[in-house]
Amino acid sequence: MAGRLKGKVAVVTAAGAGIGQAIAMAFVAEGAKVYATDINRAALDAIPRARKMKLDVLSDKAVARFAEKVGPIDILVNAAGFVHHGTILDCDDRDWEFSFDLNVKSMHRMTKAFLPGMLEKGQGSIVNIASGAGSVRGIPNRYVYGATKAAVIGLTKAVAADFIKKGIRANAICPGTIQSPSLDQRIADLARTSGQSIETVRQAFIDRQPMGRLGKAEEIAMLAVYLGSDEASYTTGQIHLADGGFAL
């Protein structure tokens, strides 16, 4: 089907690369008016026909100004995030605070800024990018990352429950390991610190996926299209796994 999001206004964070970029592109292709945002404005140039705006989701003031400029929207996709590698013994206060600020509080900021406009319209869909790591499944060396993504699921369910009678839906997508520039950088960093080859580290990521391959950002994007569309009008407060069987 084409035009599944025709007439809808959407905001996507972290649209400069990876999952966020794929979602912004898919939304444009399905007819939405898309505000694609990222801290790196130049990275947004790859997205055709989107309104491209620099946005620091760590700033209360920047988010508030952005929301005021954009006005009421129909779909909010919170895709900004950071993957910290390590156990509790590798996580200092700075790691903890930054991870929760970017992975969780940014979603709080964006939702709080755009929810009033959705309530005025009497409808809205919020799609938060969580993870298969966290409350879905505990995995090694994802201590604070898993904690933040578990919090994202809790945040999503709370918003869904609070506003279910007012036309607002909130859902979380839990991807498995997705090929992206972020993953490439993490693989390179891990190879350097562990003394392994990049190929060995990459294969370890692939091997932990039961399907035997990494996921594609476009596969996550199509799930986001569904959750943002009226096709999902009876779906809220749920986690949606797109993980190649990672949680089995």
Q: Is the pLDDT of residue 28 over 90?
A: yes
pLDDT at residue number 2: 78
CB atoms within 10 A of CB 166: 12
The CA distance from 30 to 187, in Å, is: 33
Residue 153 is part of which domain span? 9-177+216-242
Is 2 a domain residue?
no
pLDDT at residue number 51: 98
- 174-178 mean pLDDT: 95
User: Which CATH number fits the domain that encloses residue 117?
Assistant: 3.40.50.720
Is 198 a domain residue?
no
Is 148 a domain residue?
yes
- 5-24 mean pLDDT: 98
Mean residue pLDDT of the chain comes to: 96
Is 204 a domain residue?
no
Q: How confident is the model at residue 1 (pLDDT cuts 50, 70, 90)?
A: low
The answer to whether residues 8 and 28 touch, using CB atoms and an 8 Å cutoff, is: no
Against a cut of 0.85, is the pTM above it? Answer: yes
Alpha-carbon separation of residue 74 from 54, 119, 134, 145, 214 (angstroms): 20, 10, 28, 29, 31
- 80-91 mean pLDDT: 96
Q: Is the pLDDT of residue 45 over 90?
A: yes
Q: How far is CA 166 from the centre of its chain?
A: 24
Of 177, 192, 105, residue with least CA distance to 142: 177
Q: Is the pLDDT of residue 103 over 60?
A: yes
Active-site option among 143, 145, 226, 234: 145
Is 112 a domain residue?
yes
pLDDT at residue number 7: 97
Is 222 a domain residue?
yes
What six digits make up the tokens of 215? 């996921």
**Count of domains forming the chain:** 1
Percent of the chain with pLDDT over 70: 100
pLDDT tens column, 195-235: 999 999 999 999 989 999 999 999 999 999 999 999 999 99
Q: Is the pLDDT of residue 6 over 90?
A: yes
Is 190 a domain residue?
no
Per the annotation, the verdict on 145 as an active-site residue is: yes
Is 159 a domain residue?
yes
Q: Is the pLDDT of residue 243 over 60?
A: yes
